[in-house]
Amino acid sequence: MNAFAALLSKLEQVRSTRRKLALLRAYFTAAPSGDAAWALHLLTGRRPRRVVSGPELRRWLGEATGLPAEVIEATYAHVGDLAETVALVLGSEKTAHAPAQEGLQSLLEDLIEPLRGAPAPVRQATISALWARYPRQTRLWLNKLLTGGLRVGVGEGLTLRALGEAFGLDPDVLQHRWMTPSPPSAAAFRALVDPQGATLSWAAPYPFCLAQGLKSEALPEDPEALLAEWKWDGVRCQLVRREGQTALWSRGRERLEDRFPELLESAQALDDGTVLDGELLVWEGDHPGSFADLARRLQRKRATPALLRSLPCRFLAYDLLELDGIDLRARPLSTRRARLEALLANAVGTLHLSPALHATSWPALRTLRQGARAQGAEGLMLKRRSAPYAQGRKSDCWWKWKLDPETVDAILLYAQPGHGRRANLYTDFTFAVWDGANLVPLAKAYSGLDEPTLERLDRWIRKNTTERFGPVRAVTPTLVFELAFDSAHAAPRRKAGLALRFPRIHRWREDLAAEDADQLALVKARVLPHG
């Protein structure tokens, strides 16, 4: 664990991609296979579920140090990150370093995993013993593992690139193997990095081709060389049909077929050796439903008959990656699309062809794009007809041309510190709008302001705090911000009765007073599908 904690601390301190790659390569080269498997699991965003709550951790910290609860709470409010608070408060405690042979795998599998569901006294005794055996740097990352709050400043792509360089693997081969990751183990890791490779599972999807964002001022030159489609607001999936079985994979590598049995039934009409790329949507009559309705299906591990009736789903296919067991990804899109259209000339149950849009000029495409919301879409997808199905985000294959976002002028109500480098800076905000003469919380937003503006806002928040709730500060409701968001839907359980999709801070409206912020009723009338 000490070696992994040292890696995380170094990664947090460096910004250079080249340096991060070097650190990751060095770790994967030196680490035992079991530790490397768990490190890969954690570095690619698969955080373990928490085994201790925040209040428990603060209470046990007080008992371990003899500090009063109010001192612990005040320290937590100042530091802003609970894992760091515990590490700092325990920093002066004398520790016995963990034995060298106790690695990341041993810690997670033999000590932490058995704590799930264990009585509080058992968890407290184990965690207190871990605090006593590790130095402060390791304690920090240990606490993040215990609370399920581990976040690392490296992406999956960078981690896999470093792993490939460490073991001399072709990045495309490694990415394909990683599409069906096994639970972390020494054997799974060795199979993953074996230069000779292992036979892929029947269910293995392909790495997804991703789109670049498109700005109106940087349009590709020749619209006739592009295929236009709707940019659907659903879940990107690959439907795999092999060996008489069907798998449905989300882009996040989650198996979804048990939640959408109607797709399994339809997929039986496909021949073995067929892989479709497309969008999973809730379908209402002749148009797609909202993403919020789709989320209700996604949240259930298995669909009930009532859910199947009330929220029927449809898979809109827009690419054919494999046919008769032959990988078609290297073929041009025009060839793949023609074969897909022949395959789905007639809809097969819940499997449908995503329509191609006919426009041969940029004015015509702009007109189509403006009508996207009426189709239940977010904008347009533009794909080069001659392009192969590339892995990852390539600059000359696919573009997403989304509609301009909706906006709302809202008032800053609460602020909370960020994480990692930003643990001492207020970066997480709650915004409200007027409901008559009262302010009603509408959305939380965590991004959109540059560093100098965040630092200026942070100083204002500290000077204008009216109340504190642990790390959260209520502030004088006078600052107005323009929030951008992709769409909205009714949410009866929320105070505002409204939920925004992907809210982010667009700008600080220093030209507006608090009374100029939006009224809730007008926001609903403007952004809800039926006013």
- Count Cα neighbours of 240 within 13 Å in the Cβ-side half-sphere: 23
Angle between helices 33-43 and 2-13 (to 10 degrees): 40
Q: Which residues have C-beta within 8 Å of that of residue 132, sequence separation ≥ 6?
A: 93, 95, 96
* Cα–Cα distance for residue pair 113/70, rounded to 1 Å: 31
305 burial class (0-12, 13-18, 19+ CB within 10 angstroms)? exposed
CB 327 within 8 A of CB 200: no
Per-residue pLDDT of the chain (531 residues; tens, 9 = 90+): 889 999 998 998 888 899 999 999 999 999 999 999 999 999 988 877 888 888 899 999 999 889 998 888 888 877 777 888 888 888 755 555 555 457 899 999 988 989 988 999 999 999 999 888 888 888 889 988 888 888 787 888 889 999 999 999 888 888 888 888 778 999 989 888 888 876 678 889 999 999 988 876 567 778 889 999 999 999 999 999 999 999 999 988 889 998 999 999 999 999 999 999 999 999 988 889 888 889 889 888 888 888 888 999 999 999 999 999 999 999 999 999 999 999 998 888 899 999 999 888 889 999 999 999 888 898 999 999 999 998 877 767 899 998 888 899 999 999 988 765 666 788 899 999 999 999 999 999 987 888 889 999 999 999 999 998 878 899 999 999 999 998 888 888 899 999 898 899 999 999 889 999 999 999 998 888 654
pTM, two decimals, is 0.76
Distances (CA, A) of 516 to 135, 267, 406, 413, 464: 52, 53, 18, 15, 20
Q: Which of 279, 128, 273 is nearest to 203 (CA)?
A: 273
Domains along the sequence of the chain with CATH: 2-147 (1.10.3260.10), 209-402 (3.30.470.30), 406-527 (2.40.50.140)
Please name the amino acid found at residue 271.
Answer: D
Q: What would the two tokens of residue 208 be?
A: 């997804």
* Cα–Cα distance for residue pair 51/111, rounded to 1 Å: 11
* Cα–Cα distance for residue pair 97/364, rounded to 1 Å: 68
* Cα–Cα distance for residue pair 357/142, rounded to 1 Å: 52
CB 470 within 8 A of CB 453: no
